[in-house]
Amino acid sequence: MAELPTTTERFIQGILPENPVYRQLLGLCATLAVTNNMKSALTMGGAVTFVLVSANVITSLMRNLLKPHLRIVIFTLTIATFVTIVDRFLAAYMYQMSKTLGPYIPLIIVNCIIICRCEVCASKQPVITAAADAIGQSIGFTLAMASLAAVREILGTGMFFGLRVLPIAWPDWVIMVLPPGAFLTFGILLGAINWIDSLRAAGTGKK
């Protein structure tokens, strides 16, 4: 069996080299749906971080008890529990935000990033590694959400975190805050990242 990555490798991989959104293209439903402003994008990032870290830690603690054919049930059960906690918590303490995010919080249950980390890392490696992996992936996810939301909020409304950053004369590109804007922004950012990557690969090839 191939050697599994170490704790540090797991942590770093999640942030950029294996970024869940830009590299693995996972969890795109939530990514495209709630990135039309920074506040909801970061709340979503926070919610996913909590669920991912908790689910990874719990799964890792149980990893020796898992039966291969019952593991997915257990992952889903664990994830659903933490998602419900987040959902109730938001409804109690961040009521307006919970209404804005609406069904996308319960939908974290089926976010493949989390089940993927349980399967790939937490069910095979010790707690510390699983936690580092979850934190790395969460940072990667939150950064990706923030990058999309920054572009969409600034171009779509001329504002950033609800504060005006572009001159009042800026013709708000309303399409950027609507669903098509999500696809346009994501496509362009993904293309840009791949282009930079291929330039770098060509650079190292010449040496």
Our CB check for other proteins shows the closer of 70 and 196 to be: 70
Stretch touching other proteins by CB under 8 A, among 16-24, 100-108, 168-176, 192-200: 100-108
Residues in the chain: 207
Contact in structure between 18 and 144 (CB atoms under 8 Å): no
Task: Give the separation between CA 193 and CA 8, rounded to whole angstroms.
Answer: 23
* 62 part of the interface to other proteins, by CB under 8 A: yes
- Kindly state the smallest distance separating residue 110's Cβ from other proteins, in Å: 13
* 109 part of the interface to other proteins, by CB under 8 A: no
Stretch touching other proteins by CB under 8 A, among 80-88, 133-141, 148-156, 197-205: 80-88
Residue 1: which of 99, 125, 102 has the closest Cα? Answer: 125
Out of 6, 61, 102, 164, point to the residue binding other proteins (CB under 8 A): 102
DSSP per-residue string spanning 30-76? HHHHSTTSHHHHHHHHHHHHHHHHHHHHHHHHTTTT--GGGHHHHHH
Query: Helix or strand or coil: residue 24?
Result: coil
Query: Helix or strand or coil: residue 21?
Result: coil
Stretch touching other proteins by CB under 8 A, among 8-16, 74-82, 165-173, 190-198: 74-82
* 50 part of the interface to other proteins, by CB under 8 A: no
* 103 part of the interface to other proteins, by CB under 8 A: yes
* 33 part of the interface to other proteins, by CB under 8 A: yes
Query: Helix or strand or coil: residue 159?
Result: strand
Out of 17, 25, 95, 128, point to the residue binding other proteins (CB under 8 A): 95
* 201 part of the interface to other proteins, by CB under 8 A: no
Stretch touching other proteins by CB under 8 A, among 4-12, 83-91, 120-128, 192-200: 83-91
DSSP per-residue string spanning 2-13? PPPP-HHHHHHH
Contact in structure between 21 and 31 (CB atoms under 8 Å): yes
Task: Give the separation between CA 149 and CA 176, rounded to whole angstroms.
Answer: 10
* 204 part of the interface to other proteins, by CB under 8 A: no
Residues that bind other proteins (CB under 8 A): 33, 62, 65-67, 70, 73-74, 77-78, 80-81, 84-85, 88-89, 91-93, 95, 102-104, 106-107
